[in-house]
């Protein structure tokens, strides 16, 4: 192999990508991890993590560092350059086009993650991590006894608002329209919760709080600036935190051919292998259609993807024209997996 040809190419170095690299490396296949920024993904945007097994609590950047070092220890090579496209050649070779050149491999694991859709209002970026959050499961426990606001009108917003009532003294669900897009059964459940109120026909125009320029990271959200879209009336709402659920944008536009996906744009994968509809391309983490997006689910899916991709490479090297069929049937019968 030359220095740009590998057995497995992993795109994205968040928790899923680093876990995939770890397991691929331990399987003694040559693995490259391609990351456009710093390794860690969403871990770098999370100050304290308390829901990852084995750690009572750990700083996000510390967990990212440990995972990166562990993957490197088992031989994964890191390339820091944005990936722009995955080209599938006639013989099935995958070519990852990056700012640093092209990297070739028979198997690719896409763990490129995604980003919560932002409101784009004053204070949102400034108070991110200081009262502004995009994950109730991740951060809800930090807001015990607070009055919280949830912004959004879909299933995710209503579900997370209900979830947050277990921690908050009160939750105000804010939606710009006069009716929710969420399923009726969820909305009815929310209406029955005595700790949850709904504020319709309302948009948040700004997030404000204590000063951010004190140098001691003491800035904290204290209130929202609101506007009623029908009457144009302005008001404020005192809150200790705000959770934004207005959509998530998975980074699933890399492959140069159609990949099966759900209505949200997330890749559909085989649950036994994490393989997408394109043979030899696997997916894990936030790009994959799933029930929830947590570190634990990301690394679990990535473990499966790495082991399946390793078997794919091995079978392909033997000249097996249909590695998917061979090892998938074996896995379902309790063969090579585990």
**What is the distance between the alpha carbons of residues 226 and 238, in angstroms, rounded to a whole number?**
11
Residue 148 near residue 172 (C-beta atoms within 8 A)? yes
For residues 311-334, one letter each, b for 16 or more C-beta atoms within 10 angstroms of the residue's C-beta and e for the rest, the string is: bbbbbbeeeeeebbebbbeebeee
Phi, psi of 86 (to 5 degrees): -110, 115
3 catalytic? Reply is no
| Alpha helix segments (H runs only) across the chain | 15-26, 60-73, 136-139, 155-164, 184-192, 295-317, 323-332
Helix axes of 184-192 and 155-164: crossing angle, nearest 10 degrees: 20
Structure tokens at 131: 């009262």
> HEC string of 190-204?
HHHCCCEEEECCEEE
The single residue of 2, 91, 135, 232 carrying the catalytic annotation is 135
The single residue of 2, 91, 99, 139 carrying the catalytic annotation is 139
Structure tokens at 123: 């204070």
138 catalytic? Reply is yes
12 sits in the region (left: phi over 0; alpha: psi -120 to 50; else beta) called: left
Identify the residue whose tokens are 């028979």: 106
Residue 22 near residue 70 (C-beta atoms within 8 A)? yes
For residues 154-166, one letter each, b for 16 or more C-beta atoms within 10 angstroms of the residue's C-beta and e for the rest, the string is: bebbbbbbbbbbe
Question: Measuring CA to CA, how many Å separate 297 from each of 110, 159, 282, 285, 300?
Answer: 15, 19, 15, 7, 5
The single residue of 138, 230, 238, 262 carrying the catalytic annotation is 138
Catalytically annotated residues: 135, 138-139
């Amino acid at each position: 192999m030359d220095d740009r040809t590998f057995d497995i190419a992993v795109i994205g170095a968040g928790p899923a990508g680093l876990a995939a690299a770890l397991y691929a490396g331990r399987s003694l296949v040559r693995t490259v991890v391609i990351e456009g920024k710093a390794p860690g993904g969403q871990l770098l945007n999370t100050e304290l993590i308390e829901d990852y097994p084995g750690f009572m609590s750990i700083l996000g950047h510390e967990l990212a560092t440990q995972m990166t070092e562990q993957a490197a220890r088992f031989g994964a090579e890191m390339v820091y350059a944005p990936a722009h496209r995955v080209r599938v050649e006639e013989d099935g070779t995958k070519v990852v086009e990056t700012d640093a050149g092209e990297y070739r491999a028979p198997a690719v694991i896409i763990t490129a993650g995604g980003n919560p859709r932002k409101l784009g209002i004053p204070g949102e970026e400034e108070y991110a991590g200081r009262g502004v959050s995009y994950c109730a499961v991740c951060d809800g426990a930090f807001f015990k006894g607070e009055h919280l606001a949830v912004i959004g009108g879909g299933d995710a917003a209503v579900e997370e608002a209900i979830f947050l009532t277990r921690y908050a003294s009160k939750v105000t669900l804010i939606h710009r329209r006069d009716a929710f897009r969420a399923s009726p059964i969820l909305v009815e459940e929310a209406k029955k919760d005595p700790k949850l109120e709904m504020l319709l026909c309302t948009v948040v125009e700004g997030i404000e709080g204590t000063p951010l320029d004190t140098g001691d990271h003491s800035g904290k959200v204290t209130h929202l600036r609101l506007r009623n879209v029908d009457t144009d009336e302005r008001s404020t709402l005192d809150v200790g935190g705000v959770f934004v659920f207005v959509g998530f944008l998975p980074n699933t536009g890399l492959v140069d051919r159609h990949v099966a996906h759900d209505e949200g744009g997330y890749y559909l994968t085989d649950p036994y292998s994490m393989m997408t509809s394109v043979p030899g391309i696997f997916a894990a983490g936030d790009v994959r259609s799933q029930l929830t997006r947590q570190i634990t689910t990301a690394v679990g899916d990535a473990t499966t993807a790495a082991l399946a991709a390793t078997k794919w490479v091995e079978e392909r090297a033997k000249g097996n024209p249909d590695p998917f069929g061979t090892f998938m049937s074996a896995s379902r019968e309790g063969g090579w997996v585990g």
